[in-house]
Amino acid sequence: MIFEGEHLFPGQLGHFFVILSFVASLLATVFYFSASRQQDLLLKKEWLRYARIAFGIQVLGVISIFSIIFYLCSNHFYEYMYVYKHASKELEPKYLLACIWEGQEGSFLLWTIWHSVIGSILIFRSKEWEAPVMTVVSLAQFFLLAMLLGIYVFDVRLGNSPFTLTRNEINAPIFSQPNYLSFLKDGMGLNVLLRNYWMVIHPPVLFLGFASTIVPFAYAYAGMQTKRYGDWIKPVLPWALFTAAVLGVGIMMGGKWAYESLNFGGYWAWDPVENASLVPWFLMIAGLHTMLIYKATGHSLRASYLFAILVFVFILYSTFLTRTGVLGDTSVHSFTEAGKAINVMIGLFVLSFTLPSLGLLIRNYNRIPTIHKEENTNSREFWMYIGSLVFFLTSMFIIAKTSVPVYNKVFGTSIAPPEDVEFSYNKIIVLVAIIIGLLTAITQYLKYKTTDRRYLLKKMVLPTIATIIITAILFTVYPFEYRKQGAGFLGAIYVAAFAAIYAVIANAMYIFIVLKGKLVNAGGSIAHAGFALMIVGMLISSGNKEVISSSMVNGINLAVGKDPMTKKEDNPLENLTLIRHLPTRLSSYEVTYLKDSSNHEKGRKFYELKFQKKDINTHEVSEEFTLAPDVYMMKDNNMSSNPDTKSYLSKDIFTYISYALNENNEDTTQFQEKEIGIGDTAFYSAGYMILDTVKTNPLTDRYHSKPGEVALMAELTIVGQDSSRTKAYPLIQVDALGATNLDDTLYAQNTYTRFIGIGKDEKKFRIGIKKSDSLIDFVTVKAYVFPYINLVWLGLIVMALGIISSMIRRGNYNKVQSAVILVLAGIGLFYMFLLAN
């Protein structure tokens, strides 16, 4: 059968490039491995030449695959299953990129692209390490491209191809018809939670961080394979710093997306997907510090090997957790569909790197040089190692809790999550923050090998006194109000805040006291200060987060469902119901629900909320802004709510819709027509109205007359059964096309008014009024204040700049290259900060 309108050639070409890239990556792996084992220099060069050609073909193939998928999505070729599942005509152009990496195949492709970029750089910069290092990179490409094959071996499909046809994947009668494409009017589109600009930039940055973790892993393998056990540390240090910066920024971009797109009231919820990405970053930070220890003193080489291996191993394990569907019931943003064959392939990917690398480490463990003399407790390396150990143990704690669904599936257990998941993490992490904060503050002032006690005390006096004074003032003027978990946890928050502030001040002063203001050498101190500043922001914004919405204002209590964070029924007293056009008090603001509006995205509604702050005495408006949180109405009558935020330097006002009407019933109530004169009164079903005056061609906020138009506006006073008095201004407009009625609606009274026309007696006017029998238009909102949350984003940027500065110093770049890298990083991070605000 010939199917009408199909565009088969792009898909066939794309599938060809998948197979070509897959074969090329396998050949590159074999050639690079042969080169790494070859002692004869001429033969080694030959193997390297073949390997580079194969890797280059694989790079071109991967770029071609991505280009073809983008072409298919941008042209809405729904004959392809991947396009049908992830693209739609309503998507803005920027989201066409996001819909590529929304799916499992696209995310593997994105990972493969970054490996291609990193591998290309390594070919030019890794010199004598190229063969063993690129063996690992090429092998990873082989596994990743296998996920995109979509070919059958007997009855088993290996991988999922992004070029499979919709008619081959969905069993439905329409696909037996040659014109089936005429029935596919639109695709399913991007997941509603991912329709946020952060999802255009967050996944590429995060996957660049994921991909770059292979470099320390590959160099660790190369060190053992070539028996040059300590030589790999120097060339890998810039890469380790790059990974720490990019992965850290990528993770917090995800936090920013969650803050703006999810309504759990924050940027971190200890969600399993978040945890799975945080653990490798903690391990990278631990490994980075042990590498620095080894470079300075010769200690901690074995630990550096272990951390370099574990970082990539846990990236692979996080892939297993998030891509096999094992976390589907426990994560708020794990959007994957599990398949048995692909799960097995991912499992093999994890095991193929984990078991050989750990086995190789065990085999070479006793051969790895080590200094048997213990470090002095007054040395920098001792406390740096302690800090690395704290990060390692924290990682193991997080991954153990995150892996509970895996234990349950493997061992058939039914371990339930704790009642308060967030607190089960926070009670441990707050202790970690105390330890890391103190270590970050003090360790910089220690010297490698040994430090004179008097020297240390002399240097630490000023930062310590400054911290005590600043924190005493801060805690007095602005105390923490988080009492939910008792006095003990509140005390821990105070101590953690002190430690973090201590780290900020001590590292800032270290730059001037010890480094004499030389910022070129201050990358570590800048990074430490930024990390500590980020912790300060987290403690303050979370510890003093305040719910400012309250149903006590108007006494309307509605059950709004479960709280997204706690999974328990949300407290109705913390939600405020707003009746349309009725100003209502919300903390220090007067908020009015103005209207709802739809956009081109099907099922999405924006709710316009006007916030006003008025002077107590004069009642003049001193501040006014509008927020437009939105919801997606689902087919099952559920809704997905996306918040909107008003950002200040010192706080964010975070608002989302916790309940909205999903009623489409037609209002059948008819207008009661009254013929009255100016000053007359007319009764209707729910009260009476008074016609105060009629104005010709009025100039109001609602109406501006144009040349050739005639308009009459009635000014009415509507008196309800409760004696409430409200103004209404219906209007009739007459032009060359005829008469048009502009009704006025009193949403608080659910009453509608209409200026119908002039009465039989020209001194009287026909006014229509009705009390609707439909529900009053309202929304229920929940609003928070996050104080000083900008410290989180500012700290992240400072930390990233510090790490990048250190990378430049250790990367043997010339001045021009260093300046370009720093400028580009600064522009990117500054742009990110602007987006965050």
pLDDT single digits (tens) 597-655 = 876 667 788 899 999 988 777 778 889 999 999 888 765 556 778 888 999 999 999 99
Report the alpha-carbon distance of residue 720 to residue 238 in Å, rounded.
74
CA 62 to chain centre: 26
pLDDT confidence of residue 720: 85
Please list, residue by residue across 260-291, b when 16 or more beta carbons sit within 10 angstroms of its beta carbon and e when fewer do: bbbbbbbbbbbbbbbbbbbbbbbbbbbbbbbb
Closest by CA position to 542, among listed 271, 788, 262: 788
Q: Say how many C-beta atoms besides its own lie within 10 A of residue 389's C-beta.
A: 14
Single-letter residue type at 335: F
- Whether 255 and 270 have beta carbons less than 8 Å apart is answered as no
pLDDT confidence of residue 278: 93
Report the alpha-carbon distance of residue 696 to residue 709 in Å, rounded.
11
Using DSSP, state whether 53 is helix, strand or coil: helix
Single-letter residue type at 734: V
Residues with pLDDT less than 70, the chain? 262-265, 328-339, 555, 559-569, 599-601, 634-638, 662-668, 701-702, 705, 773, 775, 829-837
At 554, give phi and psi (nearest 5°): -120, 0
Please list, residue by residue across 157-186, b when 16 or more beta carbons sit within 10 angstroms of its beta carbon and e when fewer do: bbbbbbbbbbbeeeeeeebeeeebbeebee
Residues 6+ apart with CB under 8 A from 287: 216, 240, 303, 304, 306, 307, 308, 310, 311, 388
Q: Say how many C-beta atoms besides its own lie within 10 A of residue 68's C-beta.
A: 23
Residues present in the chain in total: 837
Asked whether the CA dihedral 142, 145, 151, 157 is positive or negative, the reply is positive
**In which order are the strands placed within the sheet that holds 744-746?**
672-677, 764-771, 751-758, 744-746
Both tokens assigned to 290: 């042990």
Report the alpha-carbon distance of residue 150 to residue 211 in Å, rounded.
23
Report the alpha-carbon distance of residue 408 to residue 643 in Å, rounded.
34
Report the alpha-carbon distance of residue 231 to residue 237 in Å, rounded.
11
Report the alpha-carbon distance of residue 12 to residue 68 in Å, rounded.
10
- Whether 159 and 349 have beta carbons less than 8 Å apart is answered as no
Report the alpha-carbon distance of residue 791 to residue 236 in Å, rounded.
31
Helix (H) or strand (E) holding 398: helix 380-402
- Whether 35 and 44 have beta carbons less than 8 Å apart is answered as yes
Helix (H) or strand (E) holding 389: helix 380-402
The residue written with tokens 């400028």 in the block is 823
Both tokens assigned to 590: 């007067």
Which pTM value belongs to this model? 0.86
pLDDT confidence of residue 550: 87
Q: Which residues pair with 755 in a beta bridge?
A: 767
Mean pLDDT, rounded, of the chain: 88
Residues 6+ apart with CB under 8 A from 95: 190, 194, 195, 199, 200
Closest by CA position to 351, among listed 317, 388, 307: 317
482: left (phi over 0), alpha (psi -120 to 50) or beta: beta
**Strand bridging mode 651-660 / 644-647:** antiparallel
